[in-house]
Amino acid sequence: MHIHKFEKIWLIFGVTTLIIFLTVIGVSAFYLGNQPPSCLATVNPENVDTTAPFNEPGLKKVEGKEWDYELVFVASAFSYNPGKVEVPLGAKVKVIATTKDVIHGFEVAGTNINMMLEPGFISEYVTTFDKAGEFLIVCNEYCGVGHHTMTSKIEVIE
Protein backbone atom coordinates (compact mmCIF):
# COMPACT_ATOMS: atom_id res chain seq x y z
CA MET A 1 0.00 0.00 0.00
CA HIS A 2 1.32 3.39 -0.92
CA ILE A 3 0.98 6.09 1.72
CA HIS A 4 1.37 9.64 0.61
CA LYS A 5 4.39 11.35 2.18
CA PHE A 6 2.31 13.99 3.97
CA GLU A 7 -0.17 11.45 5.28
CA LYS A 8 2.75 9.53 6.72
CA ILE A 9 4.12 12.64 8.42
CA TRP A 10 0.73 13.43 9.90
CA LEU A 11 0.28 9.86 11.02
CA ILE A 12 3.64 9.90 12.80
CA PHE A 13 2.85 13.30 14.26
CA GLY A 14 -0.54 12.08 15.49
CA VAL A 15 0.79 8.92 17.05
CA THR A 16 3.69 10.76 18.68
CA THR A 17 1.33 13.38 20.12
CA LEU A 18 -0.94 10.66 21.45
CA ILE A 19 1.96 8.87 23.12
CA ILE A 20 3.23 12.09 24.72
CA PHE A 21 -0.31 12.92 25.86
CA LEU A 22 -0.86 9.52 27.44
CA THR A 23 2.55 9.62 29.09
CA VAL A 24 1.84 13.01 30.63
CA ILE A 25 -1.58 11.87 31.87
CA GLY A 26 -0.16 8.64 33.23
CA VAL A 27 2.78 10.25 34.95
CA SER A 28 0.76 13.03 36.54
CA ALA A 29 -1.95 10.62 37.67
CA PHE A 30 0.75 8.49 39.25
CA TYR A 31 2.54 11.32 40.98
CA LEU A 32 -0.40 13.52 41.93
CA GLY A 33 -3.56 11.51 42.06
CA ASN A 34 -2.71 8.05 43.25
CA GLN A 35 -0.05 8.91 45.71
CA PRO A 36 -1.15 8.47 49.29
CA PRO A 37 -0.76 11.49 51.57
CA SER A 38 2.76 11.96 52.95
CA CYS A 39 4.00 9.04 50.87
CA LEU A 40 4.85 6.23 53.20
CA ALA A 41 3.40 6.94 56.61
CA THR A 42 0.86 4.26 57.31
CA VAL A 43 -1.30 3.09 60.19
CA ASN A 44 -3.57 0.08 60.50
CA PRO A 45 -7.06 1.62 60.41
CA GLU A 46 -8.32 -1.10 62.76
CA ASN A 47 -5.84 -0.15 65.48
CA VAL A 48 -5.90 3.63 65.20
CA ASP A 49 -7.17 4.08 68.77
CA THR A 50 -4.27 2.12 70.23
CA THR A 51 -1.52 3.38 67.92
CA ALA A 52 0.58 6.41 68.82
CA PRO A 53 0.09 9.27 68.28
CA PHE A 54 -3.57 8.57 67.53
CA ASN A 55 -4.21 7.03 70.95
CA GLU A 56 -3.99 10.58 72.31
CA PRO A 57 -5.71 12.99 69.93
CA GLY A 58 -5.26 16.70 70.55
CA LEU A 59 -2.43 19.18 70.98
CA LYS A 60 0.89 18.14 72.43
CA LYS A 61 4.04 20.21 73.03
CA VAL A 62 7.14 18.61 71.51
CA GLU A 63 10.84 19.29 71.95
CA GLY A 64 13.74 19.11 69.52
CA LYS A 65 11.68 19.16 66.37
CA GLU A 66 11.21 21.73 63.66
CA TRP A 67 7.76 22.42 65.07
CA ASP A 68 6.64 23.29 68.63
CA TYR A 69 3.45 21.29 68.81
CA GLU A 70 1.85 18.25 67.28
CA LEU A 71 -1.88 18.36 66.73
CA VAL A 72 -3.37 14.92 66.28
CA PHE A 73 -6.80 14.32 64.76
CA VAL A 74 -8.69 11.09 64.28
CA ALA A 75 -11.55 11.24 61.79
CA SER A 76 -14.43 8.81 61.63
CA ALA A 77 -17.97 9.01 60.31
CA PHE A 78 -19.08 11.69 61.10
CA SER A 79 -16.81 13.53 63.49
CA TYR A 80 -13.27 14.48 64.36
CA ASN A 81 -11.52 13.76 67.61
CA PRO A 82 -10.91 16.26 69.18
CA GLY A 83 -14.11 18.10 68.33
CA LYS A 84 -12.48 21.37 69.35
CA VAL A 85 -8.92 22.36 70.22
CA GLU A 86 -7.11 25.45 71.42
CA VAL A 87 -3.79 26.46 69.86
CA PRO A 88 -1.60 29.29 71.15
CA LEU A 89 -1.09 32.16 68.71
CA GLY A 90 2.14 31.88 66.75
CA ALA A 91 2.60 28.19 67.40
CA LYS A 92 4.36 26.16 64.74
CA VAL A 93 2.27 23.03 64.55
CA LYS A 94 2.48 19.74 62.75
CA VAL A 95 -1.04 18.53 62.08
CA ILE A 96 -1.17 14.73 61.98
CA ALA A 97 -4.40 13.05 60.97
CA THR A 98 -5.90 9.80 59.85
CA THR A 99 -9.28 8.13 59.49
CA LYS A 100 -10.69 5.01 61.12
CA ASP A 101 -13.17 4.16 58.40
CA VAL A 102 -13.76 5.79 55.03
CA ILE A 103 -12.06 8.64 53.20
CA HIS A 104 -12.67 12.00 54.84
CA GLY A 105 -11.51 15.49 54.08
CA PHE A 106 -9.70 17.84 56.43
CA GLU A 107 -9.98 21.42 55.36
CA VAL A 108 -9.31 24.23 57.78
CA ALA A 109 -11.33 27.16 56.50
CA GLY A 110 -9.30 30.34 56.06
CA THR A 111 -5.94 28.53 56.00
CA ASN A 112 -3.90 26.51 53.49
CA ILE A 113 -4.63 23.27 55.29
CA ASN A 114 -6.56 20.97 53.01
CA MET A 115 -5.81 17.27 53.29
CA MET A 116 -7.45 14.07 52.27
CA LEU A 117 -7.58 11.42 54.97
CA GLU A 118 -7.38 7.90 53.61
CA PRO A 119 -7.80 4.76 55.70
CA GLY A 120 -4.39 3.27 56.39
CA PHE A 121 -2.48 6.46 55.70
CA ILE A 122 -1.27 9.35 57.82
CA SER A 123 -1.73 12.87 56.50
CA GLU A 124 0.57 15.59 57.80
CA TYR A 125 0.85 19.33 57.41
CA VAL A 126 3.17 21.76 59.16
CA THR A 127 1.86 25.27 59.62
CA THR A 128 2.13 28.30 61.86
CA PHE A 129 -1.06 29.65 63.34
CA ASP A 130 -0.34 33.37 63.18
CA LYS A 131 -3.91 34.64 63.18
CA ALA A 132 -6.07 34.58 66.28
CA GLY A 133 -9.63 33.40 66.02
CA GLU A 134 -11.79 30.40 65.32
CA PHE A 135 -11.08 28.18 62.37
CA LEU A 136 -13.63 25.66 61.29
CA ILE A 137 -12.47 22.25 60.17
CA VAL A 138 -14.75 20.75 57.55
CA CYS A 139 -14.92 17.45 55.75
CA ASN A 140 -14.77 18.09 52.03
CA GLU A 141 -14.88 14.48 50.84
CA TYR A 142 -18.35 13.00 50.65
CA CYS A 143 -18.42 10.27 53.29
CA GLY A 144 -22.08 9.43 53.87
CA VAL A 145 -25.33 10.75 55.31
CA GLY A 146 -23.63 12.76 58.07
CA HIS A 147 -20.99 14.28 55.80
CA HIS A 148 -22.28 17.84 56.04
CA THR A 149 -22.36 17.71 59.86
CA MET A 150 -18.75 16.58 60.16
CA THR A 151 -16.78 19.45 61.65
CA SER A 152 -14.26 20.41 64.30
CA LYS A 153 -12.78 23.69 65.38
CA ILE A 154 -9.33 25.15 65.98
CA GLU A 155 -9.31 28.12 68.31
CA VAL A 156 -6.14 30.18 68.04
CA ILE A 157 -5.82 32.08 71.30
CA GLU A 158 -3.49 34.90 72.35
Q: What is the DSSP letter of 44?
A: -
- Contact at 8 Å (CB) between 112 and 135? no
Number of residues near ligand CUA (by CB under 6 A): 9
Q: Which stretch binds ligand CUA (CB under 6 A): 5-13, 22-30, 52-60, 138-146?
A: 138-146
> Is the bond preceding residue 88 a cis peptide, omega within 30 degrees?
no
Give CA–CA dist 117/123, Å, rounded: 6
Q: With CB under 6 A as the contact rule, which of the stretches 13-21, 64-72, 129-137, 139-147 interacts with ligand CUA?
A: 139-147
Q: Is 147 in the site for ligand CUA (CB under 6 A)?
A: yes
Say if CB 102 and CB 93 are below 8 A apart: no
Residue among 48, 95, 125, 141 that touches ligand CUA (CB under 6 A): 141
Q: Which helix (H) or strand (E) covers residue 60, if one does?
A: strand 58-61
The arrangement of strands across the sheet holding 114-117 comes to 85-88, 151-157, 133-138, 104-108, 114-117
Among 97, 150, 154, 156, binds ligand CUA (CB under 6 A): 150
**Complex with ligand CUA: residue 78 or 135, whichever CB lies closer:** 78
CB of 64 to ligand CUA, least distance (A): 34
Question: Interaction with ligand CUA in 32-61: which residues (CB under 6 A)?
Answer: none
Cβ atoms of 130 and 90 closer than 8 Å: yes
Among the listed residues 115, 139, 154, 156, the single contact to ligand CUA using CB under 6 A: 139
Q: Which is nearer to ligand CUA, 57 or 105 (CB)?
A: 105
* Helix%, strand%, coil% for the chain, nearest 5: 25, 35, 40
The helix (run of H) or strand (run of E) holding residue 16 is helix 5-28
Site string for ligand CUA, 70-109 (x = CB under 6 A): --------x-------------------------xx----
What residue ranges bind ligand CUA (CB under 6 A)? 78, 104-105, 139, 141-143, 147, 150
